[in-house]
């Protein structure tokens, strides 16, 4: 008889794609996922899995490259950089209109109510709204207004929601922590991608500019600054995107360091020493808070199996790295489950 698993999927931005690989490995071993609780990207992946649409979602996200992800950015000048209507509109197309109580397994999405300063559990009602509220990452996605409540990412109060599954009467509780700091030996696998061209990036920026309805001149200046920042980041984190500046104006290459890691192109990877932008500063601060809170949740309600995904493997908002993160999630889950099963059988 299959062992029944209560699965807890934590928050962690783009690293949430690793949840897909974890789910695949758990199922491959013959376990039965009987209920799910999730926060932020964990709530999104968990909700899509509970709706039986994880394969379709994976096919979509694995088809996205760096510029495809940028096309999904619907710029907001209010309480978040992105409205999220394009991203969650696509998720709605994949999942359809369904209520949580109609899912094939029990499901809980955790969000934070800023108005009343409390944790909110979605265990019934619209699945789409629950996922959107739970994943409203501060500074990145705009909050969700529900009556007099302002709902944002559940990771503010509970980045690893173990409590909702404690009473599930499953054989095992498996929790996936995306904010681990002690898994130094894991690296993202190298997956070759087709080249992305600067002209595609320029056309994207132009299309964004044409859709801004107010303060056109200021908006164009803002987009130009954003373009320069994104191209600088692209040159650092994606070697297949052309630099925005002519080669002659590029800064001198960093000196080689003995033993320093190299990228797929052979260039040396220099560790980041601090945030590169205001958004990066906010997200790094958010991650530090989540890391601390997750440790308290694990200590209070230790799961039977804890799968730790190191937070250093990618930045919070690198949502174009789905294939690599799915593969990494599968690898870490395989190693963790091997250790658990070997200890159980010894």
From CA 247, how far away is CA 233, in angstroms rounded?
16
Q: How do residues 2-22 score in pLDDT, each as one tens digit?
A: 899 999 999 998 999 999 999
Contact residues for 344 (Cβ-Cβ < 8 A; gap 6+): none
* pLDDT score at 255: 42
The strand ranges marked E within the chain are 4-9, 32-39, 107-113, 118-122, 144-146, 149-153, 172-180, 305-310
* pLDDT score at 286: 78
Note the pTM of the prediction, 2 decimals. Answer: 0.76
**Which residues in the chain show pLDDT less than 70?**
74-84, 183, 193-279
* pLDDT score at 194: 60
* pLDDT score at 64: 86
From CA 7, how far away is CA 82, in angstroms rounded?
29
The full DSSP string for 43-77 is HHHHHHHHTT-HHHHHHHHHT--HHHHHHT--B-S
* pLDDT score at 261: 44
CA neighbor of 317 nearest in space, from 21, 60, 23, 15: 15
* pLDDT score at 117: 92
CA-CA-CA-CA torsion sign (258, 264, 265, 269): negative
* pLDDT score at 237: 41
135, 41 in Cβ contact below 8 A? yes
Q: How do residues 35-48 score in pLDDT, each as one tens digit?
A: 999 999 999 999 99
How is residue 145 annotated by DSSP? Answer: E
Which residues are known catalytic residues? 40, 153
* pLDDT score at 224: 58
* pLDDT score at 70: 77
């Amino acid at each position: 008889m299959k062992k029944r698993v209560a699965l807890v999927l934590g928050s962690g931005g783009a690293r949430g794609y690793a949840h897909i690989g974890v789910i695949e490995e758990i199922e491959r071993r013959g376990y039965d996922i009987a209920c799910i609780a999730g926060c932020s990207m964990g709530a999104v992946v968990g909700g899509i899995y509970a709706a039986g649409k994880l394969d379709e979602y994976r096919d979509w996200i694995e088809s996205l490259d760096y510029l495809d992800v940028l096309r999904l950015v619907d710029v907001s000048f209010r309480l978040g950089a992105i409205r999220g209507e394009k991203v969650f509109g696509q998720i709605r197309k994949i999942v359809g209109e369904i209520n949580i109580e109609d899912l094939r397994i029990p499901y809980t999405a955790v969000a934070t109510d800023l108005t009343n300063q409390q944790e909110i559990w979605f265990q019934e009602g619209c699945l789409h709204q629950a996922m959107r509220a739970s994943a409203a990452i501060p500074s990145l996605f705009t909050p969700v207004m529900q009556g007099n409540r302002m709902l944002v990412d559940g990771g503010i109060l509970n980045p690893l929601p173990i409590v909702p599954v404690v009473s599930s009467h499953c054989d095992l509780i498996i929790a996936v922590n995306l904010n681990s700091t002690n898994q130094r030996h894991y690296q993202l696998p190298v997956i070759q991608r087709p080249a992305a061209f600067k002209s595609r990036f320029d056309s994207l920026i132009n299309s964004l500019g044409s859709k801004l309805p107010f303060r056109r001149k200021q908006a164009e200046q803002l987009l130009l600054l954003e373009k320069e920042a994104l191209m600088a980041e692209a040159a650092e984190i994606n070697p297949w995107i052309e630099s925005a500046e002519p080669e002659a104006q590029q800064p001198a290459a960093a000196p080689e360091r003995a033993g320093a890691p190299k990228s797929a192109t052979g260039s040396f990877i220099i560790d980041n020493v601090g945030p590169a932008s205001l958004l990066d500063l906010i997200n790094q601060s958010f991650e530090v808070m989540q890391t601390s809170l997750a440790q308290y949740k694990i200590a209070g309600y230790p799961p039977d199996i804890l799968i730790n995904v190191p937070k250093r493997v990618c930045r919070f908002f690198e949502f174009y790295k789905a294939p690599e993160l799915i593969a990494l999630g599968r690898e870490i889950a395989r190693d963790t489950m091997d250790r658990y099963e070997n200890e159980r059988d010894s």
